[in-house]
Chains A and B, each alone.
Chain A
Amino acid sequence: MTTQLLLVQALNGLQLGILLFLVAAGLTLVFGVMDFINLAHGVQYMLGAYLGASLAAATGSFWWGLVLALPAALAAGLVLEVLVFRHLYARDHLAQVLATFGVILFLNEGVKVLWGAAPLQVAVPPLLEGGIEIMPGLQYPLYRVAVLAAGVVTAGGLWWLVERTRAGMLVRAGATNAAMVSALGVDINRLFTLVFAFGAMLAGFAGVLAGPIFSVEPGMGDNVLILAFVVIVIGGIGSIRGAFVAALLVGLIDILGKSLMPDLMRLFLDASAARQAGAALASMLVYVAMAAILAFRPAGLFPVRAG
């Protein structure tokens, strides 16, 4: 493997990491602040992708689709919060897992009824067509550069929002001790609703951005959700900074594992066994890394909660 290929793979890892961060950011806010396990975060990502796809098709422009899908995803999040999630905050995690899992089933079938089971197509916006040649014969799509940029800007914006604004201060306080914040006269329920809706919008944003790269289909959020949970657990639940670092870490481990493992295994095994064992090991690597990190830092890399 050449250095050039290794650098390209590292870039690919960062790319995957940024996409994961966009999904995980909303999840870590909701989980961290409200102590609420929202398995339905993945379907909110899916919903964002579907809304973006159909709004883009209706308006004829990816950008209008993006702009209109954000409030739509926010509204969908609010509806879900009022109808389902609000009644679960005081319940234990098991009840939350069961109920939000029900929402997954419901929405996965729901989009199928509305949009059909076949995957949808979202075209790359004309402005971002084409790519940059990063190695002979391989283009790095401009669209992915834009997604990278969007991810970094989102991360910066979130950091500013959480660390430097009054709303962010309340969110951080709520994450540390919700009862105390409530006792100090802050309407904690309104705060929760806002955080939740904002998280849903972030998931929707990630979904819209993923549309031109991934297939928009029922159940598309399920795989992403698992990785997003890995990210927030590694990063420390509730920590935006942790989610960012962990997302990049998971992206890098996943991509570098996939590209290096089969070659590494060839040192011990014959070619065909090495390929399959390497592939199997590479797909486990992210979870192995999570277990290793948790063994040394049980609360994740950047723990939020003091107690």
Chain B
Amino acid sequence: MIGIGRRGLLGGTTALLAAPAILHAQPAGAVKIGVVAVQTGPQAALGNQLKEGFALGLKHLDGKLGGLTAETVLIDDELKPDVAVTKVRAALERDKVDFIVGVVFSNILQAIMRPVTESGTFLISTNAGPSTFAGRGCNPFFFTTSYNNDQVHSVMGQAAQDNGYRRVFVMVPNYQAGRDAVAGFKSKFRGEVVDEVYVPLTQLDFSAELAKIAAARPDAIFTFMPGGLGVNLVRQYRQAGLAGIPFLSTFTVDEATLPAQGDAALGFYSAASWAPNMDNPQNTRFVNDYVAAHNAVPATYAAQAYDAAMLLDSAIRRVNGNLAGKDALRAAIRAADFRSVRGPFAFGVNHYPVQDFWLLKVGRRADGKLETQTDRKVFTNAVDPWAAECRMR
């Protein structure tokens, strides 16, 4: 880091003053993790999944990461960037956490990125994967166990293309992530987009849009309606008798919203790099234990956080518990020497995963609960589209 600004100088001074404290921060053989998970507001359900996924990972590792006794500090970002920064700073400076893990939403990640990485602490995002940090903005102290957001939408575009759909109706909320979803979908879909409808984030009733869809008679619809928006849309779509038109979606039908969507979501499509029904020993153990503990099927938020625990375990073991040597630690994380619940997993040059992406379909488990199930693989070992712009060595 060449250009040391005022912030850098101040930070350096604080670090010097705090140095003796850091030496005695953790008792020998211990590691402290700050888990950033939203616990306030309607999106807390997602934060809970994240928190419980990570906790289950630690439980399976007997409370240890790479032989060190792990202690977690829960940070509720309240979905407010300024609050997140304050609390994360406190975790770094007062609690002396060794890693920051978590973050559901991209805007929170954007806010805490500099405070965390400039303090020389590794930040492992378990969900938010904005393209900002995948290309030129890639960072040696940042890793993500999820995906680049753009990839997920493009999976759906490719799937629509492969299914031979020629006319697709697109509907998303009118904000940046919604427009990104449309761009991602169109990057792979070559057919005609009959209409693009942008709805307000506060939308309750979709009847006007549903009438438009019925009038347009598309081959399929593509939508991105996170959280409660998706619950409303899926149920009203089914009630309006439109379910005959394939429902392609991203972040709209998942295990966090399925309990509320119920049977209305059966047969609807989603895209992800993991699904609860993936058949490998580590995933079976993860899903079964999660269901047993919470009486609910885990979603990607939990799975990717579980993977983050396994990733840290492997990395800390690789450096024999020596957390001070940052370069060695980085190489150890980069190696990703753990068994992911999604099967093959590796990091690309920009520290984003190189992984397979699947078309998922909502189905019923043996116990009657709903889950997304793998339908077919759409991309194999996909590298995210921004990786080439990352200059990290």
Is B205 an interface residue, CB under 8 A from the partner? yes
Rounded to whole Å, the gap between the CB of A174 and the closest CB of chain B is: 33
Is B3 an interface residue, CB under 8 A from the partner? no
Contact residue among B198, B204, B207, B256 (Cβ-Cβ distance under 8 Å from A223): B204
Contact residue among B200, B205, B228 (Cβ-Cβ distance under 8 Å from A15): B205
Is B71 an interface residue, CB under 8 A from the partner? no
* Size category of the binding interface on chain A: 35 or more
Contact residue among B197, B214, B256, B261 (Cβ-Cβ distance under 8 Å from A138): B214
**Residue-wise interface mask of B (192-204) relative to A, using a CB-CB cutoff of 8 A (1 in contact, 0 not):** 0001111110101
Is A59 an interface residue, CB under 8 A from the partner? no
- With a CB–CB cut-off of 8 A, which chain B residues contact A143? 239
Contact residue among A15, A136, A144 (Cβ-Cβ distance under 8 Å from B214): A136
Closest to B217 in A: A137
- With a CB–CB cut-off of 8 A, which chain A residues contact B187? none
A12 touches B205 (CB 8 A): yes
Rounded to whole Å, the gap between the CB of B383 and the closest CB of chain A is: 29
Is B137 an interface residue, CB under 8 A from the partner? no
A255 touches B207 (CB 8 A): yes
A118 touches B204 (CB 8 A): no
Q: How far does the alpha carbon of A116 sit from the alpha carbon of B48 in the complex, in Å? A: 10
- With a CB–CB cut-off of 8 A, which chain A residues contact B195? 275
Closest to A108 in B: B41
Q: A8-B211, A259-B212 are in contact. Are A219 and B241 (CB under 8 A)?
A: no
Q: How far does the alpha carbon of A213 sit from the alpha carbon of B214 in the complex, in Å? A: 19
Q: How far does the alpha carbon of A133 sit from the alpha carbon of B42 in the complex, in Å? A: 35
Is A279 an interface residue, CB under 8 A from the partner? yes
- With a CB–CB cut-off of 8 A, which chain B residues contact A216? 260
Rounded to whole Å, the gap between the CB of A212 and the closest CB of chain B is: 8
B207 touches A12 (CB 8 A): yes
Q: How far does the alpha carbon of A139 sit from the alpha carbon of B244 in the complex, in Å? A: 12
Comparing B21-29, B91-99, B105-113, B230-238, the segment that makes contact with chain A is B230-238
Is A214 an interface residue, CB under 8 A from the partner? yes
Is A112 an interface residue, CB under 8 A from the partner? yes
29 contacts between A and B (CB under 8 A): A2-B215, A5-B211, A5-B212, A12-B207, A108-B41, A117-B41, A118-B45, A118-B296, A121-B262, A135-B211, A137-B245, A138-B214, A138-B242, A139-B239, A141-B240, A213-B205, A213-B236, A213-B239, A214-B231, A215-B231, A217-B228, A217-B231, A219-B42, A223-B202, A255-B208, A258-B209, A259-B208, A259-B211, A279-B200
Q: B: which residues have CB within 8 A of A?
A: 40-45, 47-48, 174, 179, 195-200, 202, 204-205, 207-212, 214-215, 217, 227-228, 231-232, 235-236, 239-242, 244-245, 256-257, 259-262, 296
